[in-house]
Amino acid sequence: MPKLQTTVSEGKQQIVSKQSTKLGRPTEKPNPVIVEEVLLWVSEGNTLRSYCRQKGKPAYTTIYNWMNKNTDESKDFLERFARAREWGADCIADEILEIVDEMPRMIGEDQQRIDPSFIQEKRVRAEIRLKLLAKWHPQKWSDRTNLEHSGGISLTVNTGVPQ
């Protein structure tokens, strides 16, 4: 048990312990069970914030702190998290296909026709997901094509005038 010291300042008595001099919350190691849950959750196309909003789950800042530590364990978690995000993007692409392939809702009693608002809603849902994929993973989902050029240009001008 640490020895306690009593100090008196301005008429008030304070008890000062000789315990830890570090301030702030104690750092903790990543919980392997939660790490696996997070990786599975994200690889299914869900967001990290939606995982953290569940009751009894850590805050998203805690999970990012686990990834940002400078240990081998955190570097491994960060690499696995990046892979899970890529797999999650593929799940979102599959979800886009399900949205587009869904049978349209019909309206009208005598002459059935496709509900235009249903089609518009499906279009918006698919476009938003596709735009997010293009922002998050432009190398795979963007419409832009990158053209890389290397090398140089050499130019020789002959004027016909002797030197």
For residue range 65-85, list pLDDT tens digits in order: 888 888 888 889 999 999 999
Give the domain range for residue 119: 27-141
* Residue 150 is assigned to a structural domain of this protein: no
Confidence bin at 13 (pLDDT 50/70/90): low
Distance CA 94, CA 45 (A): 10
Distance CA 160, CA 163 (A): 9
* Residue 3 is assigned to a structural domain of this protein: no
> Two tokens at 25?
């919350």
* Residue 13 is assigned to a structural domain of this protein: no
* Residue 123 is assigned to a structural domain of this protein: yes
Number of domains in the chain: 1
CATH number, residue 82: 1.10.10.60
Q: How far is CA 119 from the centre of its chain?
A: 30
